[in-house]
Amino acid sequence: MTETPHLPGAPLLLWAPQAWLADGWRERVLMQVGADGHWTAVTPDCPAPPEAVELSGPVLPGLVNGHSHAFQRAFAGLAERRSGEHDDFWTWRDRMYGVALRITPEQLRAVAAQLYAELLQGGYTQVCEFHYLHHAPDGRPHPAANGQAHGDPMAMSHALVQAAADAGIGLTMLPVLYERAGFAQPSLRDDQRRFATDVDTVLALRDGIRALDAPGVTAGVAIHSLRAAAPDSITRLAAALDGDAAPIHIHIAEQTAEVDDCLAATGRRPIEWLLQHLPLDARWQLVHATHATADEIDAVARSGAGVVICPSTEANLGDGLTDLPRWLAQGTVLSLGSDSHVGRAWPAELRLLEEGQRLALRRRNVAAAPAAGDDATAAHLFRRVRDGGAMAAGFARWGLQPGARADLLVLDTRAPGLLGVPPSHRLDALVFATDAPAFAEVWVAGRPVVSNGRHRAQSLLREGFAGAMAALWPA
């Protein structure tokens, strides 16, 4: 990165030879960062003024990671063996609970900070943390801190907020309503004891996170799933959120067994039940929605709710493929999530999203939209998830435009996969021909956090992560 002196209190000017604006690639783009870390002006076709920081390559907006369970980064790569005749999501989940039952707040901070640095290097500048790991391993609140008379229900939330600050990523916290083990199980299993919440607890956690007033941190809420929360609790939470513009996330229709159980318990499929019982709107984000019928897709699109697709996790867990062509054709709000974090870079997620459809349909460029003037698959998907991610995180403005937070990615045009590629095809090559993240720099709120492809605190964060992993997985 080219360093240029910046006078305190003066606007920060950044200049890029090429940048992806609302209408695609534009040349010679001057971007001004205000004192609040947001863009105040973005102007193409400008020469570089002498006081500007000249960025080293083409610029893209950062993306929102719409779905994260940070603690599961400590489990990535450790469930890829099968000892019995059958392995699926449910057997993976039982093994994952072993990590959930052991990890401490200090270890969670170290794991999450390493994860968040990796997400930044992978092109995400905001992450939505679907946070259900609250209590101490015995299921009670963590020991009191800072002179509190009682236990600390926010110990794990604090760990995630601190981890985001350590890495420099934006964070949307989503405390989760989680109160039962299944449709026919009115309470949690013993190995789910750290997850227990009710409506009042979720709202208190949300308010506690907001009261921290931590830079770059916002809070909405989440419902784990229809199987994990009673209908009365879901409707009560939804009523309590009337007038709150923050996002509401829910896992839904990820597994066929979940669909079958919901049908048996309620007479409705999960998405069908949600549509019939709740007034869905743009705040709602349906995570996975893998097994959705055509009628459900159409109804979700009409409601304005969004869908968060997590290609690498859905592939890893054997969830199945969603009907991407129909979601796209109906104009549904879409975003990406990395969920269990077996993948941590958005170009790879977009590649898998498209190539999964190619394998299933035996066609190419499934997501392209030439009839709408968008014949480039990567560009069409990128636009959709850029805008959808903003909604998933609760932002009214996102990307390289005035009023949005001043986040950006600088492409390394000499990276394998990009070297020699014509400028008009760089996004195509980034998604479909590049094996590793190719971002030379990443900026969040007008500050560089990744330089020369490395997180600026990489050595320190790696050391903390290695220590946490050694404690969680002793040899």
Burial of 376 (0-12, 13-18, 19+ CB in 10 A): buried
Catalytic residue, chosen from 339, 387, 407, 412, is 339
Are the C-beta atoms of 93 and 363 separated by less than 8 Å? no
Q: Which helix (H) or strand (E) holds 59?
A: strand 59-60
Question: Catalytic site residue 298?
Answer: no
Residue 1, helix vs strand vs coil: coil
Bridge-partner residues for 173, per DSSP?
129, 219
Q: Tell me which of 158, 224, 251, 288 is the catalytic residue.
A: 288
Radius of gyration over every alpha carbon of the chain, rounded to an integer in angstroms: 22
Residue 68 host element (H or E): strand 63-68
**CB-based contacts of 9: which residues, under 8 Å, 6+ apart?**
35
Please, what sign has the CA dihedral across residues 208, 386, 256, 272?
positive
Q: Are 409 and 61 in contact (CB under 8 A)?
A: yes
Phi-psi region of 288 (alpha: psi -120 to 50; beta: other; left: phi over 0): left
* Residue 320, token pair as written in the block: 């199945």
Q: 126, 393 in Cβ contact below 8 A?
A: yes
| Cα dihedral 306, 311, 313, 315 sign | positive
Size of the chain, expressed as the number of residues it contains: 475
How wide is the angle at C-alpha 464 spanned by C-alphas 462 and 467, nearest 5°? 105
If one counts every other C-beta atom within 10 angstroms of the C-beta of residue 92, the result is 17
Cα–Cα dist 451/439, whole Å: 9
Query: Is the backbone of residue 89 left (phi > 0), alpha (psi -120 to 50) or beta?
Result: alpha
Active site residue 288: yes
As a whole number of Å, the end-to-end CA separation of the chain is 41
Find out whether 183 and 465 touch, Cβ atoms under 8 Å: no
Asked if 449 and 51 count as a contact pair (C-beta separation under 8 A), the reply is no
Residues with a known catalytic role: 288, 339
